[in-house]
Amino acid sequence: MVERYQALQAAGDLAGADELARAYQDRRLGYAGVAHHFQTLWAVHAAQQDAALAMMAVEPSPNPPPPIPSPADPSTDPASRRPDVAVRASAPAG
């Protein structure tokens, strides 16, 4: 668009160049429009996140996480008594 604008100015079509410049600004193109487009996308993202969080608060998860096992009692776990000594399993008698 910049090249078209410069070509219109070079050809002496100042009205056409001015119209092109107005169209450029109205559509918020170029560096000036980056902030506008970022704010628009951010608003959409924020709305989607709000909707997702609201849905999570209303509906329980269909796949709840597994329960966290409690740590083993060290007095009943032979491996935890002496970590430097291997525990030998005994064979059943008979």
Q: Which residues contact 20 (CB under 8 A, 6 or more apart)?
A: 1, 4, 5, 8
Place of tokens 């525990």: 87
Asked if 53 and 45 count as a contact pair (C-beta separation under 8 A), the reply is: no
In terms of Cβ atoms closer than 10 Å to its own Cβ (0-12, 13-18, 19+), residue 90 is exposed
9-63 residue pLDDT tens: 999 999 999 988 888 877 756 666 677 778 888 999 999 999 988 887 776 777 8
Global pTM?
0.32
Looking at residue 83, its pLDDT comes to 55
Domain positions in the chain are 1-53
